[in-house]
Structure 1
Amino acid sequence: MGLIAAGLPGLAALGALLFTWMQVGQASKELRISEQGQITTRFNTAIGNLGSRSLDIRLGGIYALRRIMEDSARDHPAVVSVLSAFAQEHAGSSAESLKKPLDDTRPFVNTPKPDVQAAIDTLARRNPDRDAGAVIDLSKTDLRHLHLPGEAAIRLPRVVLIEADLRQAYLSGADLRAANLYSAHLDNAWLDKANLQGAALYRASLAGAALWGANLRGVDRTCAELGPTKRGECVDLHDSQLNGADLRNAKLSDVNLQDAFLRSADLRDADLARANLSHADFTVFSGAKAAGVSLEGAGRVGADLRNAKLRDANLQGAFLAGADLRGADLTRANLTDADFSGAKLDGAKLDGAKRDGTTGLPR
């Protein structure tokens, strides 16, 4: 009896501890339910605000959804879907915007509406790891002059931009890995230092785009716009800025790179078969990295490298059979083991070029 009496205080203390733990657990559960209820209320209110005729109220709804996305991982995918649908609905159709030429003299006239800009900005700054399968679909939208600040916060991997009008958009440093840019219009867009690794560029137009320092490793090629008969069918990179771009393993056969700037570009093992590189500028201090690059011609027409500036370029092992190199500057270029069988070399400058193991070059 004495032992039982001595143990009663301990049992009472244990019972009190268990009771307190159960109360804390219940309170915590009730708090979570209350918080979820509050988030649901906030979510519904924000959705209602998106339908307002007042711009201020719509912007308030977008910023409320941004806060919900930050506070609740569970609601994050739903917010992504809502804001994507809102931006696509309110941005306007690229089918209409593409009928009009871009007025370079008035760059801020055709910018996205403030609420569309805010919605896309919110999507670009989210944490993609919380998407849980939600897709940002901005296909066929008018996003001319879209401006997203050039910083690491721009995260749009796997974004769908099919047939979107992104002419002169500012996407410097954007994360666009595996983006679907099928038939997208990115003429004169700022994509410097952007990560386009694995992006689908079929029929995309990037004429005049700034792509220096961009990561284009493994981009999904197709053909380039090479003339009126193929207009709109191919990747167009003519007159683009690709200085320092990473194009390793990129599949860009048939791509139009006429007048493109490729200084310091890394083209190792890239597929540029039948590419139009007429007047392309590869000039660098240390030589463009192009070892193993394929510049294979098609049929009677080889790669178009007329007047190409390949001074000091590293074209070791390059396949240039049938290429048109008339007037090309290959001064001091490394042409070791390169194949020039059947290439047109009238007027080509080969002074100081390394020719060990080359095939098809005149003595």
Structure 2
Amino acid sequence: MPSFRDRLAAARAGWSSGRISWQPSTAERRSRAVGPEGRRRLRMSSRAPGQIGAHWAPTRELVHTVFQGVTVLTAVAALLFTARSLDYTADATSATRQQMHLSEQGQISDRFGKAVDQLGQEGENKLSIRLGGIYALERVMRDSADDEPTVIEVLCAFIRTHAPRPLKTPEHVNTSSLDVRAAVTVLARRPNPNANQNQRLDLADTLLGLPGVALSGAHLARTSLFGADLLRADLSGADLSGADLRHANLGGANLQEANLSGAGLIGADLRGADLRHVDLRGAGLIGADVRGAGLIGADLRGADLRHVDLRGANLSTTNLRDANLDGANVDAATLLPHGVARPTPSPTR
């Protein structure tokens, strides 16, 4: 390629001869043809790849940073929206639950009022209405634990009113009416018997005639059943701990695996009763009649068995540790655990 000096010399020579012989190079002509923007692109295209990347690197970093910022802001906005939506949903759910609770309480109050009205219907011809009220109250008791103590009080009051103890205890206890038996049964299977306010049934000053009643697994702890007629009743597995069963008739009753710990059984009639594996720890059986009762595996630790009639009773597998057998009536057929001294029989009553 001619140098600038050579081209300049040629131009001078051409000038002197009346024409200019110097022509621009191909690159110069291309540069003039494309204009300023084209020249910029040509310069960029003539750069090495590394130079182009370096030229655009700051721009790419800026775009990446902006994109990340927009993404983060979008995520934060989405989280805030979700949190607000959840708060709104929680508030709406809480309000709905409160409304439902109030509605349910209103319905329960209506049901309770109607059941009490039914329970107050007097007369033999209203027996079915009273029974309906008793079972309606049971449903209220099961649907609302808060109302259970009130239902218990109402049913206990009903029993005390309809089965009062006479001033003079009769020789024979009349069978209680169907509605009284139903009320006792409902109370015995109340859903939350171990709650403090639900443990004890106030049946004081009542005289119940419940022969053959089915109360298996009943919750009757500390209940007053003084003098009750429970002949051949099914009380298997029942909780009668601390119950007042003095002078009660439990002849032939099924008390298998029942809890009678601490119960008062003074003068009770337990002839022929099934007392297998019964818990009688600390029970008071002074003067009770236990002739012919099945006592296999019974726990009588600390029981007061003074003057109890044990003639013909099989106590060979019972636990009599610390039991008081003073004056108990035994005979040749009475079987006692190994190592337990035979008591001296009390005088014939």
Give the TM-score of the pair, scaled to structure 1: 0.65
In the alignment, what sits opposite 2:30?
none
| Alignment map for 1:226-265 (pairs within 5 Å) | 236-262=288-314, 264-265=316-317
| Alignment map for 1:87-98 (pairs within 5 Å) | 87-93=159-165, 95=167, 98=169
Distance between the aligned counterparts of 1:244 and 1:49, measured in 2? 46
CA shift at 1:18, angstroms? Answer: 1.5
2:124 pairs with 1:59: no
Residue 234 of structure 2 is aligned with which of 171, 178, 182?
Answer: 171
Residue 147 of structure 1 is aligned with which of 212, 228, 237?
Answer: 212
In the alignment, what sits opposite 2:60?
none
Distance between the aligned counterparts of 1:130 and 1:61, measured in 2? 24
Distance between the aligned counterparts of 2:210 and 2:75, measured in 1? 81
2:171 pairs with 1:100: yes
CA shift at 1:127, angstroms? Answer: 3.0
Matched position secondary structure for 1:21? helix
CA shift at 1:217, angstroms? Answer: 3.1
Give the TM-score of the pair, scaled to structure 2: 0.68
Q: In the alignment, is the contact (CA less than 8 A) between 2:308 and 2:329 conserved in 1?
A: yes
| Alignment map for 1:150-299 (pairs within 5 Å) | 151=216, 153-161=217-225, 163-168=226-231, 170-181=233-244, 183-201=246-264, 203-221=266-284, 223-224=286-287, 236-262=288-314, 264-279=316-331, 281-282=333-334, 290-291=337-338, 293=340
In the alignment, what sits opposite 1:113?
177
Q: 1:277 to 1:120 in 2, by over 3 A?
A: same
C-alpha RMSD of the superposition? 3.1
CA shift at 1:201, angstroms? Answer: 2.0
Larger Rg: 2
In the alignment, what sits opposite 1:352?
none
CA shift at 1:305, angstroms? Answer: 11
In the alignment, what sits opposite 1:36?
105
CA shift at 1:258, angstroms? Answer: 4.3
Distance between the aligned counterparts of 2:332 and 2:248, measured in 1? 22
Matched position secondary structure for 1:133? helix
Q: In the alignment, is the contact (CA less than 8 A) between 2:309 and 2:329 conserved in 1?
A: yes
In the alignment, what sits opposite 1:47?
116
Q: 1:202 to 1:282 in 2, by over 3 A?
A: closer
In the alignment, what sits opposite 2:11?
none
Of residues 15-24 and 272-281 in structure 1, the stretch that sits farther from structure 2 once superposed is: 272-281
Residue 186 of structure 2 is aligned with which of 118, 122, 131?
Answer: 122
2:134 pairs with 1:70: no
Instruction: Give the gaps of 5 or more residues in structure 1.
Output: 103-109, 225-235, 297-301, 307-363
In the alignment, what sits opposite 1:348?
none
Residue 82 of structure 1 is aligned with which of 145, 154, 178?
Answer: 154
| 1:266-308 deviations in Å (ceiling 9; x for gaps) | 043152332322336335xxxx5x2454656xxxxx34599xx
CA shift at 1:122, angstroms? Answer: 0.8
Q: In the alignment, is the contact (CA less than 8 A) between 1:196 and 1:219 conserved in 2?
A: no
Q: In the alignment, is the contact (CA less than 8 A) between 2:255 and 2:278 conserved in 1?
A: no
% of aligned pairs identical? 23
Distance between the aligned counterparts of 1:223 and 1:10, measured in 2? 76
Question: What amino acid is the match of 1:251?
Answer: A
Q: 1:34 to 1:273 in 2, by over 3 A?
A: same
Question: What amino acid is the match of 1:144?
Answer: G
| 1:215-234 deviations in Å (ceiling 9; x for gaps) | 1431332632xxxxxxxxxx
Instruction: Give the gaps of 5 or more residues in structure 2.
Output: 1-68
Which is richer in helix? Answer: 2
Question: What amino acid is the match of 1:43?
Answer: F
Q: In the alignment, is the contact (CA less than 8 A) between 1:176 and 1:194 conserved in 2?
A: no
Distance between the aligned counterparts of 2:286 and 2:158, measured in 1? 33
